[in-house]
Structure 1
Amino acid sequence: MTAASRVVWSAGAPLGLLALQGDRGVGWVALAPIPDYPGLARSQVSKPVDRDEDLSEVWSVTCSSVHRAARRQGVADALLAAAVEHAREAGARVVEGCPVGTEGVKRDSGSLYQGTLNLFLANGFELVERRGTRRALVRRAVA
């Protein structure tokens, strides 16, 4: 069974969640309010849909990883669900991500660190728009 736990750095700000199997870390998801990621606004893939929106209440899932020995055991789903709940508890109104589309294309695991579109859609996120041929912007209201 996998549990998610906050990871806190010395600055005191949670930067993400760690998936644990027993006392062993098997996965990670990074998320924070969009203003904590200034580079997102400049990115063609991650830029906000509505520049007039109050982004302090919009959190972004920017990357994740699951150890190869723990894949296909629901760890990615558990991490994403825990990320949504953590953001909601911290006052988020919306959680978004820019996952990779894998429809009909085999991708190596190293190119999937933003998560897959299917993972986000299966966890209640809605497709907002495609961003190029490989990426998408997805959102889920949590407030």
Structure 2
Amino acid sequence: MDGAITFHPLTPDRFADLESLFGTSATTRNCWCVYWRQTWKEWNAGCGDDRREALRARVGAGPPPGILAYRDGEAIGWVQVTPRADVPRFNRARSAKPSPAETDLDAVWAISCFFLRKDARGQGLMTALTREACAFAARQGAQAVEAAPVTPHRPLTWDDGYVGIASALERAGFTLVEKRSERRSLLRWVP
């Protein structure tokens, strides 16, 4: 990666940095990393502005729901990392549901979303963000961190990689729990 990269938990004083980062993509301007947090009814009733305010409220309530990566003072990457209890739709998704089913959803955390600015992709930032997210979760008492990344079989579009890329997470120390489909696996990192 070119230039020094720093990492910071997303706190209310850094929300404007996330807004700036998410402003670079129509996908993130619509989602605001609440897809896994909301019910279908809530998701379908809302819009990008509603979702941004939902995430702002979540950030304000604490603890930080993820990590921002910075280069030269600008946010260039994001990873959402929270207790599984905070992302109920993630827990119900076929590719991401906990294994075993009786997993403690407060003790096991999930990495559920990534966003990297276009000019920061392909430089190892996803792996670095993953390492930072795991270290953060461990400091908060997480017993493990799980993810359900994609294993690409063709060039990715942005929407494909938002759950993470398996090889990047494996470089950060994640190991296979269970193959869920040809392209998706449940991976786990343990401190």
Normalising by structure 1, we get a TM-score of: 0.92
Aligned to 1:107: 156
Tell me the CA shift for residue 89 of structure 1.
Answer: 0.2
Aligned to 1:14: 64
Aligned to 1:49: 99
DSSP 3-state at the match of 1:14 = coil
Aligned to 1:70: 120
- The alignment-based identity, stated in percent, is 33
Which segments of structure 1 move beyond 6 Å, counting only runs of 4 or more? none
Aligned to 1:95: 145
Gaps of 5+ in 2: 12-58
Larger relative helix fraction: 2
Using the alignment, how far apart are the partners of 2:142 and 2:62 within structure 1?
A: 19
Which one has the largest radius of gyration?
A: 2
DSSP 3-state at the match of 2:61 = coil
Root mean square deviation, CA, Å: 1.3
DSSP 3-state at the match of 1:52 = coil
Normalising by structure 2, we get a TM-score of: 0.70
Summarize the Cα distance change of 1:106–1:61 in structure 2 as closer, same or farther, 3 Å threshold: same
DSSP 3-state at the match of 1:10 = helix
DSSP 3-state at the match of 2:68 = strand
In the alignment, does 2:130 pair up with 1:80?
yes
Aligned to 1:5: 8
Deviates more, 1:15-24 or 1:34-43: 34-43
Tell me the CA shift for residue 70 of structure 1.
Answer: 1.4
